[in-house]
A and B are shown apart, each in its own frame.
Chain A
Amino acid sequence: MKKRSLGTRLEQFTDGDVAISVQDLHKSFRLPTEHAGGLKQAIFNRLRGIRGYRDQRVLEGINLEIKKGEFVGIVGRNGSGKSTLLKTLAGIYYPEKGNIVIDGTLVPFIELGVGFNPELTGRENVYLNGALLGFSNEEMDEMYDEIWKFAELEKFQNQKLKNYSSGMQVRLAFSIAIRAKGDILLLDEVLAVGDAAFQQKCNDYFKSLHGNQTVVLVTHTMENVRKFCDRAILIDAGKVKLDGDPNEVADAYTALWK
């Protein structure tokens, strides 16, 4: 099997004004061509000199720079590579080629409620999810009541999570997520949760971030791009297609369908 090349991802802490810098970022995935999930097939392929996979190119030379304190929206169609970009920034995927430099602590929310387990109680899940975000037990103790109050779920603390409605689960997850403090927040499509009243709370939270915090938000909702973002980036077919004013980018995104 061909050895994969690797790009670099560097985390640093400096006084510079650039939070995220991405140069010529490439990423592709190896997709099995046949049903190559088994050992037999793998050995068979190797013996016959078949690769057994093909490269699916997802990111093809992304360049971007995000300044400290900026609220940047990333938009694009399904499959354009924006989630892959976010996951590569977050360090979940390794860059295949190119460089990423992150300046400051990075808190990614690729999904709400990572690690939530239906068999555990709400309380246990809060501590587990908190640990995944890097909070110690003591820190969680301190913000524990606040989390439940914000989620408006105080009565259900000792219920198993499987007895929660999906809306309740998301509300709880969101309440924990917003406690996370970092220099840079990466958010993947987590804005619209809960009912109208809860959405209002979420909107207030995002407004409070504006100007105080570096935020990278991946979204399909152009309303949010126009409302919250200082800048927006349109990704298409693994490349940056447009980078600039949120209104212009939102228009260009809508125009993709016309």
Chain B
Amino acid sequence: MSIPRVLNKKNRILLKELTKTDFKLRYQGSVLGYMWALLRPLMMFAILYVVFSKILRFGDEIPYYPVYLLCGTTMWSFFTECTSQGIQAMVSRGDLIRKISFPKYIVVVSSTLTAVINMLINLFVVIIFALISGVTPSLTWLLVPLSLLELYLLSLGIAFLLGAINVKYRDITSIWDVCIQALFYAVPIIYPISMVMNASPLAAKVILLNPIAQAIQDIRHNLITPVSATTWETIGCFWLQILPIVLIVVLLILAALYFRKKSKFFAEEI
């Protein structure tokens, strides 16, 4: 599969139309419509804020903790939405796959692009909140898109791999739901990584080897406060530092190869 064929006109049109349709359908029939793209993460944030900032007082040592928390939950929602939608994509678009011949990756990409659009809207809100709270814009903001891309590629890798298996074994959807629950606590979103560091520096280092944790900490570090510890500062060894990135690249390549191999039989197996 060469690059020009992957991005030819027909495929581009299809990708665009399917993304548009996905986005429209997501909020179809709800009174507030697209507003939910904003309201849902804000509500999740409100709950977490009351519980972890006001009651458990997790954020006392981090400046701008509310924005810090909002930024984390936004990125987490992006990751969960992207992977869940991506894994489901082949099955929910089974009607197309059975009836027309087209590159199947388009279905996965179009369903994750909806999550990207949602995330960008939410990121805008995060930035506004940050400015209101007194965060000063800095040049490090320019590094944020890199981390976003990293998080997206990771989600895409997971979506391709698990989505391809999910065509035959629908158990994957349920298994992934549980994984997401577990991962939520394995990534320093609601608790500051410094809390873990005080208890066990080793545990903190292990946590920061997780690509999701690395990307989210980088985004918060560059966007909100340098106090947010990153993988780069915490881990000394160069090879361990780049481990999260290597993991993502390897996963993405393997997932793409697996998906391409399996996609030949999606039409008859779905």
Contacts and interface: CB of A to CB of B under 8 A. Distances in A.
Contacts of A143: none
Given A38-B171, A115-B95, A117-B21, A110 B9 contact: no
A131 B13 contact: yes
Contact of A114 (B13, B17, B29, B95): B95
Interface string B16-36: 111001001100110000000
B37 to A, nearest CB: 17
Contact of A37 (B98, B170, B172, B267): B170
Contacts of A137: 13
Contacts of A93: 267-268
Contact of A92 (B100, B171, B269): B100
Please report whether the interface of chain B is mostly helix, strand, loop or mixed according to DSSP. helix
Given A114-B95, A115-B96, A128 B171 contact: no
A124 B21 contact: yes
B169 to A, nearest CB: 5
Interface string A68-91: 000000000000000000010011
B98 A92 contact: yes
Contacts of B17: 127-128, 131-132
Nearest to B11: A134
Contacts of A127: 17
Contacts of A4: 265
B144 interface: no
Contacts of B267: 87, 92-93
A122 interface: no
Contact residues on B (Cβ < 8 Å of other chain), bracket: 20 to 34
B13 A42 contact: no
Main secondary structure of the interface of A (DSSP, over half): loop
A64 B101 CA distance: 22
A146 to B, nearest CB: 19
Contacts of A136: 9, 13
A131 B95 contact: no
Nearest to B267: A92
Q: Which of A37, A91, A92: most chain B Cβ within 10 A?
A: A92
A114 B100 contact: yes
A6 B264 contact: yes
A119 B171 CA distance: 28
A127 B168 CA distance: 31
A67 to B, nearest CB: 23
B14 interface: yes
B268 A29 contact: yes
Nearest to A125: B21
B169 A132 contact: no
Contacts of A94: 264-265
A39 B172 CA distance: 8
A42 B170 CA distance: 12
B171 A110 contact: no
Contacts of A90: 100-101
Interface string B97-121: 1111110000000000000000000
Interface string A15-48: 0000000000000011000000111101000000
Contacts of A111: 99
Most buried by A among B16, B25, B98, B100: B100
A90 B98 CA distance: 11
Nearest to B269: A30
Nearest to A89: B101
Contacts of A117: 21, 25
A93 B263 CA distance: 10
Nearest to B21: A128
A91 B101 contact: yes
A42 B9 CA distance: 40
B28 A132 contact: no
A91 B102 CA distance: 8
A135 interface: yes
A120 B97 CA distance: 20
What 3 A-B pairs have minimum CB-CB distances, sorted nearest first? Answer: A131-B17, A91-B101, A39-B171
21 contacts: A30-B268, A30-B269, A37-B169, A37-B170, A39-B169, A39-B172, A90-B100, A92-B101, A108-B101, A114-B100, A115-B96, A117-B21, A117-B25, A119-B25, A119-B28, A120-B25, A120-B28, A128-B18, A131-B13, A132-B14, A132-B17
Given A110-B99, A128-B18, 17 more contacts: A4-B265, A30-B268, A90-B100, A91-B101, A92-B101, A110-B100, A114-B96, A115-B96, A117-B21, A119-B25, A119-B28, A119-B29, A120-B21, A131-B16, A131-B17, A134-B14, A136-B13
